Structure 1
Amino acid sequence: MEWDDLLRKYLGEFGRFQKSTALLAILVGPTFAMSLVAMTFLAATPEHRCRVLGNSSSAGHRYRTEGYNTSVPAETIGYDDWKQSSCWMYKESNGTTTPKNETTACTYGWEYDRTIYQNTIVTEYDLVCWRSWLKGLGQSTYMAGTSLGGIFFGTLSDRFGRRPTIVLCLLLHVALSTGASFASDYASFIVLRALDGAAAHGAYYTSFVLAIEVVGPSKRNGVGMAIVLGYVHGYFMLCLLAYFLRTWRKLQLAQGLIMIPFVCYWWVLPESPRWLISNKRVKSARDALQRAARVNGVTIPDDVYTSLLTKSAESKEETTKFTMIDLLRTPRMRKITLLMCFAWMAVAGVYYGLILGMTDLAGDPYVNFALGAALELGLAAVGWAAMERWGRKPVTVGSALLAGIGCLASAGTTGHPTVSRNFALLGRVLIGVNFICFSAYSPDMFPTVVRGMGMGAVTAFSRVGTILAPFVTLLGDVWLPLPMLTFGVVSCAGGLAVYLVPETLGLPLPETIEDVENSGRQPQRKDNDKSESYTNPWPKRDPFRHVKRVVVCYQIARDGDYFSSILVP
């Protein structure tokens, strides 16, 4: 008997045990979201100018004095506007300044507008002008930490279990996030933040895998979307904290303290029965199944335990300790892994890059951030409904291609700023749908024995995209359309990569690498089989199916019934 058969016939696909486990996983999501985007407020850059002797920034710098006007040169903005320079001042001559002298870097440091932010990383360590690259380094280092954390903790979860890995990550998350608030210098801050990113990432994605593994096939999509919705709620939590805590140390400390209740996960979080079975933990698996049955109020016959656990004990592959190499060892598993890694790098890079491009919107930063979170929350619901109706692959591929088209259209209309901005916003909305769908789609691609490692690998590659995204936005200094052109091409390429992986909606999760290698993931029943189980859950597809489909579509279109051609299976 397979695990999914046990869920459907005896334990239940979404009983109290699965609901409580999914809820515990959902609660982890907001903490990772807060940590991931915290630099939006921790490292916010307020308006600034060179400090001029005799002026003070204690009350902000929204004033104009003659001393300031004659000490700092003006810079043009666009075609017909200008402002005082933020990075340059006139050289002094014998203690005085003359506008005709040469300019120099700010001699006495900077003054910052304290109207919105009382204190940020940028204002404390002067990360502006020629030092602004250090701000980007902090975010890139954090993303690098999440990348390494995905690989390390993904491997750890496959080797030692989902539960101990999640608890370890949460404990590290509390300690490192709190410690970062007491950092004495910027270098120690970014190191602690990078380690915190690794722990937060490990907790989130291992929780995601745990929740997906305990629920039945018909509920996986809903649970995956619920976790994504919980993740997006972290944006609202961060915005609320940042609104009331206007100094970066208090905000960073609050992120650590809010994690303390998660220590109780050591006592309340269950281990994945599916993982125990796949790793030949027969006694622990039986205990976990009995506990789940007791919570769900059902009884599992002894012969079912015997059938399920005996098959696990007799499986040679499931007794093997797997490594990252196993993701690339066999042909089909290698193909899926490489395609997923590329697609994740493309999607995450475009998603993050377009978000960075939206930060120059006018208005209150807290209101803008909350509105963006609300938009993404709505997109998550749209993505969920679309995947339930049309499947995961069509929605994921379609949204990536349309997002790419939006970006390319934006690049082609840079001469009309309003039109270009609207196309860019369209791309941002559609890549958000794609990112949400892909997050729910990805765990289904990997078998249970290497699912944690697989998710760790693909999300590690996603961080490569997010590390590169800020530098792609700088290409606009070379040629204005180049960033959007790059994002458009990459988004379309990511969509095509997803097209080459199998559909998974409503299908049983693969248990072993052998399941992946045997065939594709298109379910096939015997002609006289009316049951829920399949003789071969992943049958091989006709290699000429796409050619046949094109021929049939052409014939139908030639006969004038083009609309019907899209219904050809």
Structure 2
Amino acid sequence: MEWDDLLREYLGEFGRFQKITAMLVIPVGITVGLNFVAMTFLAATPEHHCQVFGNASSVGHRYQAEGYNLSVPLENIGGTWKQSSCLMYKESNSTTTPGNETTACTHGWEYDRTIYQSTIVTEYDLVCMRSWLKGLGQSTFMVGAGLGGIFFGTLSDRFGRQPTTVLCLLLHLALSTGASFTPDYVSFIVLRALDGAAANGAIYTAFVLAVEVVGPSKRNAVSMAISLSASVGYFLLCLLAYYIRTWRNLQLVQAVIMTPLLCYWWVLPESPRWLISNKRVKSARDVLRRAARVNNVTIPDDVYTSLLTTSAESNEAKKRFTMIDLLRTPQMRKITVTVCLTWIFVTGVYYGLIVGTTDLAGDPYVNFALGTALEMGLAVLGWAVMERFGRKPVIAGSALLAGIGCLASAATTGLPTVSRNFALVGRVVNAMSFHCLAAYTPEVFPTVVRSTGMGIATACSRIGSMLAPFVTLLGDVWLPLPMLTFGVASCAGGLAVCLLPETLGLPLPETIEDVENLGREPHRKKDKDKSVTTSALSCYLNEYVYEALEHLALSYTTSYYVYVHERVPTVL
């Protein structure tokens, strides 16, 4: 007996046991989501100008003083004349007209503390020629997140979902707390990088656990709920940042709020699907019996025997799997680059626009909260549409629309309000593709390497999120350039999705052989809970279009990032 058959016929696809497990995973998504975008406010850059009075302890009245205005030259920024943030006249005199010669700030900077009392930028002067260090902080965090996804994903496939999740949460708490007490910027970004590894390991391992215990008909809903929990974390971050205007206190608070999650060592169950795949017979039986009691159902003893025997007879249950197995077979190799590129583009634009919306005209807290609210609404809409029309059209279409929004924002930089609105449209529509892609990912990995594959897929996504902070700095070169870059990248991601197959209504693959056979079986029984129209259409298109692109995908197989996927069956 297969696992999905047990869920449908005996345990239930979404009983009380599965609901409790999903609810336990959602707080992990909230705390990790908060941490992933914390640099939006921790490293916010307020208005700043050269210090010309010799003492920056009090900005107050001097920030708008007439003498100050005479000491700092004007610059044309995006068609608007503003006082320079990085230059001053060589000889400052508050009562005379200054000369024309300018120089870089020699006495530091004065910061407008109307919005932010203290940020990493103001404490370490990460502006002007040092502004690249701000992007380095977020980029190193994403590098850590990518490496952590690979490492802890492999660890999870080897030792289990539950212990790996708890280990990551413990490390996340310790490292995130330590970052609030760092004496210098170097130690801060080192701890943040390690924290990124732990945080990413926690959310994706827990994500896989939740997806593995629910049935096919509810899997996408659970995936979307966990993905959206990160957006709840964004709201929480915005609320905390509004009331906590100093970066050290904000960093500390956003760390300690996850302390209750350490109880997961006792309350979070192990994935029975993983236990079965790894021949942990006694443990699998214990978890299934507990789940049956919670769901108030009875599983006959012969069902346990059949389920465990099926797993034991599998050739793939007798070996251990590594990242190499994700590249070993043609079908899995063929998918690697396509999904790798999709994650790079979609995630890079996603995080770039989250940071970028706080730099737009208007209140940064309002912009951030508004973008998050719209993001959540469209993500829910995306989930509903995916359930009816499939994964591919939703992900590809939303990515392309987001790209158009970003390009429109770049074209209207001379109209700040219009540009901001287009940027917000780009952000929220891109968020739909991001959340839908996150829900789509676990559906295409076989159980034996699902966590490893998820880890590598997210590691690939961190390339884009690592580059995003530096893309936002391109506005110093040419104001429309960041949005132009994000627009092109989002469109590229949408086009890349067109190379992927549809998975609507299909059970999760258990073995690598299942993945290989998915694209080679012209006629298979479709999940009875889904309508046939969309799947048949998707298969028809795949049958005549997908193979034409096979050679193109195969030419990139040297990449070590992997995204396994499956194809929709033809339905007669």
TM-score, normalised to structure 2, is 0.88
Note the C-alpha offset of 1:401: 2.7
Note the C-alpha offset of 1:506: 2.2
Please give the secondary structure, in 2, of the residue aligned with 1:76: strand
Note the C-alpha offset of 1:351: 2.0
- 1:102-130: CA deviation from partner (whole Å, max 9, x where unpaired): 32222221222222211111111111111
Map of 2:188 onto structure 1:
189
Note the C-alpha offset of 1:546: 2.9
- C-alpha distance in 1 between matches for 2:440 and 2:231: 17
The farther-off stretch of 358-367 and 187-196 is 358-367
- 1:158-180: CA deviation from partner (whole Å, max 9, x where unpaired): 11110011000000011001000
The farther-off stretch of 510-519 and 68-77 is 68-77
Note the C-alpha offset of 1:494: 2.1
- C-alpha distance in 2 between matches for 1:421 and 1:94: 38
Map of 2:553 onto structure 1:
none
- 1:192-237: CA deviation from partner (whole Å, max 9, x where unpaired): 0111111111111111111100000000011111112221110111
- C-alpha distance in 2 between matches for 1:477 and 1:470: 13
Pair 1:65 & 2:65 matched: yes
Q: What amino acid is the match of 2:504?
A: L
The farther-off stretch of 103-112 and 2-11 is 103-112
Is the CA contact 1:169–1:202 (under 8 Å) kept in the aligned structure 2? yes
Please give the secondary structure, in 1, of the residue aligned with 2:85: coil
Is the CA contact 1:144–1:464 (under 8 Å) kept in the aligned structure 2? yes
Map of 2:52 onto structure 1:
52
Q: 1:360 to 1:168 in 2, by over 3 A?
A: same
Please give the secondary structure, in 2, of the residue aligned with 1:100: coil
- C-alpha distance in 2 between matches for 1:65 and 1:410: 34
Map of 2:248 onto structure 1:
249
Please give the secondary structure, in 2, of the residue aligned with 1:82: strand
- C-alpha distance in 1 between matches for 2:125 and 2:374: 33
- C-alpha distance in 2 between matches for 1:78 and 1:500: 39
- C-alpha distance in 2 between matches for 1:95 and 1:485: 41
The farther-off stretch of 30-39 and 333-342 is 333-342
Map of 1:496 onto structure 2:
495
The aligned runs of 1:403-418 (5 Å cut-off) are 403-408=402-407
Please give the secondary structure, in 2, of the residue aligned with 1:510: coil
Note the C-alpha offset of 1:62: 6.0
The farther-off stretch of 288-297 and 413-422 is 413-422
Map of 1:76 onto structure 2:
76
Note the C-alpha offset of 1:54: 5.7
- 1:483-513: CA deviation from partner (whole Å, max 9, x where unpaired): 4454344333322332222222221100010
Map of 1:128 onto structure 2:
127
Map of 2:544 onto structure 1:
546
Q: 1:489 to 1:131 in 2, by over 3 A?
A: closer
Q: 1:119 to 1:300 in 2, by over 3 A?
A: same
Q: 1:485 to 1:522 in 2, by over 3 A?
A: farther
Q: 1:244 to 1:522 in 2, by over 3 A?
A: farther
Is the CA contact 2:501–2:542 (under 8 Å) kept in the aligned structure 1? no
Q: What amino acid is the match of 1:436?
A: H
Contiguous gaps of at least 5 residues in structure 1: 551-567
Please give the secondary structure, in 2, of the residue aligned with 1:83: strand
Is the CA contact 1:71–1:97 (under 8 Å) kept in the aligned structure 2? no
Pair 1:147 & 2:154 matched: no
The aligned runs of 1:283-294 (5 Å cut-off) are 283-294=282-293
Map of 1:88 onto structure 2:
87
Note the C-alpha offset of 1:353: 2.8
Map of 1:383 onto structure 2:
382
Note the C-alpha offset of 1:531: 11
- C-alpha distance in 1 between matches for 2:542 and 2:74: 66
- 1:229-256: CA deviation from partner (whole Å, max 9, x where unpaired): 2211101111111122111111111112
The farther-off stretch of 278-287 and 409-418 is 409-418
Is the CA contact 2:311–2:317 (under 8 Å) kept in the aligned structure 1? yes
Map of 1:43 onto structure 2:
43
Q: What amino acid is the match of 1:72?
A: V
Please give the secondary structure, in 2, of the residue aligned with 1:329: coil
- C-alpha distance in 1 between matches for 2:33 and 2:254: 11
Q: 1:484 to 1:184 in 2, by over 3 A?
A: closer
Note the C-alpha offset of 1:30: 0.8
Q: 1:492 to 1:98 in 2, by over 3 A?
A: closer
Map of 1:448 onto structure 2:
447
Map of 1:270 onto structure 2:
269
Pair 1:307 & 2:327 matched: no
Note the C-alpha offset of 1:88: 1.8
- C-alpha distance in 2 between matches for 1:85 and 1:518: 62
Note the C-alpha offset of 1:5: 0.1
Q: What amino acid is the match of 1:45?
A: T
The aligned runs of 1:319-338 (5 Å cut-off) are 319-338=318-337
- 1:339-372: CA deviation from partner (whole Å, max 9, x where unpaired): 2211111111122233344333222222222112
Q: What amino acid is the match of 1:519?
A: L
Is the CA contact 1:61–1:112 (under 8 Å) kept in the aligned structure 2? no
Map of 1:565 onto structure 2:
none
- C-alpha distance in 2 between matches for 1:181 and 1:379: 34
- C-alpha distance in 1 between matches for 2:417 and 2:242: 31
Q: What amino acid is the match of 1:37?
A: V
- C-alpha distance in 2 between matches for 1:15 and 1:270: 15
Q: 1:203 to 1:402 in 2, by over 3 A?
A: same
- C-alpha distance in 2 between matches for 1:440 and 1:544: 21
Note the C-alpha offset of 1:402: 2.8
Is the CA contact 2:52–2:71 (under 8 Å) kept in the aligned structure 1? yes
Q: What amino acid is the match of 2:212?
A: E
Q: 1:155 to 1:361 in 2, by over 3 A?
A: same
Is the CA contact 2:216–2:507 (under 8 Å) kept in the aligned structure 1? yes
- 1:273-304: CA deviation from partner (whole Å, max 9, x where unpaired): 00011111111111111111111111111111
Is the CA contact 1:48–1:110 (under 8 Å) kept in the aligned structure 2? yes
The aligned runs of 1:469-508 (5 Å cut-off) are 469-475=468-474, 483-508=482-507
- C-alpha distance in 2 between matches for 1:228 and 1:207: 11
- C-alpha distance in 2 between matches for 1:60 and 1:464: 41
- C-alpha distance in 2 between matches for 1:65 and 1:547: 67
Map of 1:556 onto structure 2:
none
CA RMSD after TM alignment:
3.2
Note the C-alpha offset of 1:478: 6.0
Q: What amino acid is the match of 2:310?
A: K
Pair 1:297 & 2:296 matched: yes
Q: What amino acid is the match of 1:546?
A: Y
Q: 1:523 to 1:154 in 2, by over 3 A?
A: farther
The farther-off stretch of 494-503 and 283-292 is 494-503
- 1:4-57: CA deviation from partner (whole Å, max 9, x where unpaired): 000000111111110110101111101111111101111111122222236654
Map of 2:5 onto structure 1:
5
Q: How many residues align?
A: 545
Q: 1:12 to 1:43 in 2, by over 3 A?
A: same
- C-alpha distance in 1 between matches for 2:372 and 2:92: 51
Please give the secondary structure, in 1, of the residue aligned with 2:182: coil
Map of 1:157 onto structure 2:
156
- C-alpha distance in 2 between matches for 1:492 and 1:82: 33
Is the CA contact 2:413–2:419 (under 8 Å) kept in the aligned structure 1? yes
Note the C-alpha offset of 1:94: 12
Q: 1:91 to 1:406 in 2, by over 3 A?
A: closer
TM-score, normalised to structure 1, is 0.88
Is the CA contact 1:502–1:521 (under 8 Å) kept in the aligned structure 2? no
Map of 1:395 onto structure 2:
394
Map of 1:365 onto structure 2:
364
Is the CA contact 2:153–2:451 (under 8 Å) kept in the aligned structure 1? yes
- C-alpha distance in 2 between matches for 1:526 and 1:212: 22
- C-alpha distance in 2 between matches for 1:129 and 1:410: 25
